[in-house]
Amino acid sequence: MIPLAIRSSAVTKNLALIVAFIGLIAGCTTAHKPTRTQRSAIEQLLMSEAMMRSLSDNANDSLPIPKGARVVLETTAINLDSGSSSDQLLLEKIMASWLGKQGYAIQKKEELSSYRINIIAAALGTELGDSFFGMPPVTSQLIPFSLPELAIYKNQYQTGYVKFYMDIFDVQAGTLVHSSPFYIAQTYYNDYTFLMFFNFSSTDLPAPPELELAREPPHGPLNKRRPRKEEKSRSNWP
């Protein structure tokens, strides 16, 4: 028969090993903290890049109005809050820049314009999803410590999506001149984690932010870093 003192000593050692193992795992796990702004830099890139990719190279292929015509823009989008959303305003500014590059004169007032272009956005936003295999975070009042998330496999994916069309009206006559087909584009950013420690991402965005680069710039300050060749914009703009 094993003495009680020996059994108690063995149990104590086993508990100490278990606690030390849990503490080691907890100290080695990594996690991304939530953004401190309304939208992260990646979300902003997903939206702006999708807007630019939705536009073709030549506006004259789809807009049956003479080049050089004076136009005023009005943008409408589904918005839960009152007033114009930042996404709606960004789409209008990108459209103004695109039309200006095609030779159209953008006006602020309708009375100074020959045509009014109504931009109707059916969808402007990002989608976020994830898949996870492992142990989720554990918090209990029965033990004096909590366990972090232990991910054997984790995938967080984000998609930026834009879908809109344009109605062009003759300002003087008030008649509909043209209704365009839908302009549609999407972008993605996926983040993967394997065995808690191994992390990588895949995306079609040009120059997405890199967390490792933000911690230790390899070439001096971030604003002086020379862009890599693959950072060139992939939008369809001329």
pLDDT level of residue 16 (50, 70, 90 thresholds): low
Q: What pLDDT, on the 0 to 100 scale, is given for residue 208?
A: 82
Mean pLDDT for the stretch of residues 151-179: 91
Mean pLDDT for the stretch of residues 143-154: 74
Q: Cα dist. 176→9, 55, 70, 113, 181 in Å?
A: 88, 22, 16, 15, 14
Tokens encoding 50: 């999708």
Highest-confidence segment of 9-13, 59-63, 216-220: 59-63
Where b means 16+ CB within 10 Å and e means fewer, 194-217 reads eebeeeebebebbeeeeeeeeeee
Give the Cα separation of 177 and 167 in Å (integer). Answer: 8
Alpha helices in the chain (DSSP H): 4-28, 41-53, 86-101, 211-215
Share above pLDDT 90 across residues of the chain, in percent, rounded to a whole number: 30
Mean pLDDT for the stretch of residues 59-88: 78
Is residue 89 within 8 A of residue 121, CB to CB? The reply is no
**Which of 149, 152, 156, 148 is CA-nearest to residue 131?**
156
Tokens encoding 163: 């879908």
Highest-confidence segment of 1-5, 32-36, 76-80, 200-204: 200-204
Mean pLDDT for the stretch of residues 20-42: 56
What is the value of pTM for the model shown? 0.68
